[in-house]
Every structure is written in structure tokens, then in C-alpha cells.
Amino acid sequence: MPLNCGIVGLPNVGKSTIFNALTSAEAQAANYPFCTIDPNVGIVPVPDERMDRIVSMVKPHSIVPTTMEFVDIAGIVEGASKGEGLGNQFLSHIRQTDAILHVVRCFADPEVIHVAGSVNPLHDIDVINTELLLADMETVEKRKTKAEKAAKGQNATAAQKTEYAVIEKLLEVLNAGKPARVADLSADEKLIARDLFLITMKPMLYVANVDEAGIANGNDLTAHVERRAAEEGSEVVRICGAMESEIAQLEPGERKEFLAEMGLQEPGLNRLIHAAYRLLGLITYFTSGVQEVRAWTIKRGTKAPGAAGVIHSDFERGFIKADCYACEDLFRLGSEHAVKEAGLLKSEGKEYVVKDGDILFFKFNV
Ligand SMILES: Nc1nc2c(ncn2[C@@H]2O[C@H](COP(=O)(O)OP(=O)(O)OP(=O)(O)O)[C@@H](O)[C@H]2O)c(=O)[nH]1
Ligand SMILES: [Mg+2]
């Protein structure tokens, strides 16, 4: 199962527009609230210029980028946790994602309806975050009664006591209006908390949907979002949904020209994809040969056998070793042969922690 990011926010803020630009899909995006009802799912290649450089050197027969999944979810309104708007059903769609991209409207356009009547990013952020928080409080409260009884019973096990302690810690944080992710939990406690599938435990970043004028330096509205995000330790990605959807429809040549005219290096979507990738704690390694150059996704901290397992479970089961070098060494020295000559191609064992940008060759035996 690939990890995925849910696109979340108030109705009519541009979630489906951004999703369509990301996935080249044609999910319905229109100027009325609750245009999206069922979640739209799309798989997106992760742009990687290191991959392009490897390909230009190796000239393989086939090229396979790595991908990630985005889910376009229905808009949330005040009271959603109590069933308002499209209510609880959509919270459950968010609960199934691995990370949250919280889209905040930072463009004025009087033509586009705002559900609260006026554009006010901080108010919008509060509405969404409050609903997510309330949903989590309900989840934790539900669990509390049973956990408390077990923990205070005569035959309470250590695990039951820990579970209750975790629930108390989480409630303290949530009651203070803070997301569950800031709760101070040990690694063991986090495992217990994970079973609750809390929405505010998921990593989250803000996507400020701006008008064209606001892309380069932001605008008055994004300044608020950036301040709030800094207080929370969250990231903000600025993007113009309307323009990204135009860029996405251009041919590659036209796209380059258009970006150059706008004074941009790359589409905002690339920045968004990379930010989402980081948010999920993901890194990329490559396999490279004349047959195929391919990028693979792993969680940061994965050891060599686990990385091999992403290709095939046999690779993990029968893992012997991995020959490994950094793609940066390849770029610096010009060829795999030169990397070898320089003694930078290493044979790594089961304990090797794979690094972002490693080029790996697995030896296995099943
Ligand atoms: N001016 C401007 N309009 C935008 C931008 N992004 C989206 N819109 C418009 O905003 C309206 C709503 O866009 P959608 O993408 O359908 O919004 P949504 O958040 O998916 O809405 P729901 O599915 O109803 O929750 C459409 O009319 C879009 O054309 C933008 O960057 N600038
Ligand atoms: Mg939509």
C-alpha cells in the first residue's frame, strides 16, 4: 500500500483544482461548495532531477519514477464532527490517510463563493482544525471509559495501565486545543496511540492557495498563514491552483516557456509533491542498469533488507548484501567505473541504513 496524503479544507477553496493539476485527473471542480462528495484518488509520479541525471548517463531502455498517492476529500464545515455539512463520513476519509495537506484559500476573487461569506485564512484554519480536534476528542473519550476501568481493575496489566496513561495525555493536549501530534509520548506510547487512528496525530502542512500575483512573495493573507504555521512548527507551500491547472495542461515545451515567462524554476506542484513526500518521512533510492533505471520509495531510517523488500519480498527474505554508492558521487565522478576506482562503491550488510539518493544493487538468495 503506498502512503497517501489527503487534501483537506473548507468547501470551495480549490482542493479539487489542485488535485486535478497534480494528477492530471478530471475530478469535478466547480464554483459551488460540496462539489466533491466521494473522495478522488490519484497516483502521481514524484519528480526527481537526480533520476533525470542518472537516466542521461545510463541511457536505460525503461525509466520508472516512484509515485505517491493523493486523495481529494470533500469540504469540511463548522459542525462537521457533529454531522453538519457532509459530516462524519468525510472525517472517516481523512482518518484513512497518512498525512494531511490543509488547503487554505488565500485568493480574493469575489466571483468564487466562500462558505463563510468572506476570505479569512485564520478563521478558516481554526474551523478545520477545531473540527478535526473535536472528532479526535470523541474518539479518545469513547475509549477512555473502558481503558480506565481496565487500568484501575484489580488485575490490571502493565499494558492496560500504559494505555490509560496515553489516553490521559492525549486528552490533556486535545482539551488544550492542540493537535494530538504534539503530545509528549514515548515510542511505546506512540504505538498505543496509533491504534486510535487520530486525525490530528497525522503530519500536516498548509497549502496556501494564492492568486497569480501572490506566488512569488505571498500576500497579506499568506502572511497570516505563515505566522500561524511557524507557531505550530508546520510548513506552508504557496501555490496558485488556477495557474497550476493551466500549466498541467501544457505540452512539456510550452510548459518550460510559460514557467520562464513567469520567472519560475518549476511548477508549484513539484514543490508541493516534494513537501508532501518529506512530510510522510519518505526518501528515494535508485536501482540502475541499462535495462531500467527506477526510483523506489522507503521510509527514512529503513535498513537495506527492508529497502530490498520494496522491490520484492524475496529480495528481503534472501537478502545477502547490497552494493551501494551515492548518486552524488556518480554525478561528481562521471561514471560508475570511476566511482568504483575511487573506492566509493561499498558492499553493505543487513544493518546498513539506506540514504536518500543511494544507488543500490541487491544480492539475494532464496
Ligand atoms: N481565482 C481563483 N480561483 C480558484 C483557484 N483555485 C480554485 N479556484 C476556483 O474555486 C472554485 C472551487 O474550486 P474546487 O477546486 O472545486 O474547490 P474544492 O475545494 O474542491 O471544493 P469542494 O469540493 O466543494 O469542497 C472553482 O470555481 C475554481 O475554479 C485559484 O487559485 N484562483
Ligand atoms: Mg472538491
Q: What are 161-220's pLDDT values in tens digits?
A: 999 999 999 999 999 999 999 999 999 999 999 999 999 999 999 999 999 888 888 899
- Closest among 139, 16, 134, 122 to 80, alpha carbons compared: 134
User: Which residue among 12, 219, 249 has the greatest number of ligand 1 atoms within 8 angstroms of its CB, and so is best to mutate?
Assistant: 12
Give residue ranges with CB within 6 A of ligand 1.
Answer: 9, 11-17, 29-31, 33-36, 74-75, 107, 109, 112, 209, 211, 240-242
210: phi then psi, degrees, rounded to nearest 5:
-105, 170
pTM for the predicted model, two decimal places: 0.90
- Closest among 112, 308, 302, 143 to 210, alpha carbons compared: 112
Q: What are 221-246's pLDDT values in tens digits?
A: 999 999 999 999 999 999 999 999 88
Label residue 295 exposed, middle or buried (CB < 10 Å: 0-12, 13-18, 19+).
buried
| Three-class SS state of 339 | helix
The pLDDT confidence band at residue 84, using thresholds 50, 70 and 90, is low
Residue 136 Cα to ligand 2 middle (Å): 23
pLDDT at 113: 82
Task: Give the mean pLDDT of the chain.
Answer: 91
pLDDT at 85: 60
- Window from 77-91, 130-144, 256-270 with minimum mean pLDDT: 77-91
Residue 31 Cα to ligand 1 middle (Å): 6
pLDDT at 88: 67
Which atom of ligand 1 is least distant from the CA of 29?
16
| pLDDT over 70 at 305, yes or no | yes
The pLDDT confidence band at residue 1, using thresholds 50, 70 and 90, is low
Residue 80 Cα to ligand 1 middle (Å): 20
Ligand nearest to the CA of 111: 1
- Closest among 86, 97, 99 to 37, alpha carbons compared: 86
Residue 91 Cα to ligand 2 middle (Å): 15
| pLDDT over 70 at 87, yes or no | no
Q: What are 15-59's pLDDT values in tens digits?
A: 999 998 888 766 677 777 767 677 888 888 999 999 999 999 999
Residue 69 Cα to ligand 2 middle (Å): 16
